[in-house]
Structure formats: C-alpha cells, structure tokens
Amino acid sequence: MSTEADIRRLEEKIAYLERHVTEQDKAMLEMAGQLERLKRELLLLRDRLPAAADGSGAMAPSEERPPHY
C-alpha cells in the first residue's frame, strides 16, 4: 500500500470521526434541553401537588373525585 493511499484512508477516517463527534454533540445538546424541560415540568407538578410532596396522601379539594364516581 502506498503512502498516498494510507494518507487518504486516514483522512477518510478523520472525516468520519469528525462527523460522528458533531452528531454526538447535537444529540447531547438536545438531551440536555429535554432534561431541563423535564426538570421544570417536575417542579411545576410538585408545586401543584403539595400533599403528595409531604407524604400525607391527602388530595386538594379541586383534585378529589365527586362521590358518585
């Protein structure tokens, strides 16, 4: 195998690895954004269900089902 062919093969590998790293970076940024959104949603849900957070198990009157259910 010639030196030129070796260099070309290495350049192709580097190009592939650079593309792969770029794709991974995009995926990580996307997941970080999703994680932040989920954290905010979790905090909102905790604020909406204070009884569940303190472990009493009691539901807020607006969350209770009417007796006929």
52 close to 42: Cβ distance less than 8 angstroms: no
Q: Between vectors from CA 33 to CA 32 and to CA 36, what angle results, nearest 5°?
A: 85
For residue 24, the surrounding DSSP H or E stretch is: helix 3-48
pTM of the model: 0.57
The domain segmentation of the chain, as residue ranges, is 1-46
Q: Which pLDDT value is given to residue 59?
A: 59
Q: Which pLDDT value is given to residue 56?
A: 61
Among residues 35, 55, 33, the alpha carbon closest in space to that of 46 is found at: 55
Q: Which pLDDT value is given to residue 12?
A: 98
Per-residue pLDDT of the chain (69 residues; tens, 9 = 90+): 589 999 999 999 999 999 999 999 999 999 999 999 999 999 999 998 866 555 565 656 666 777 776
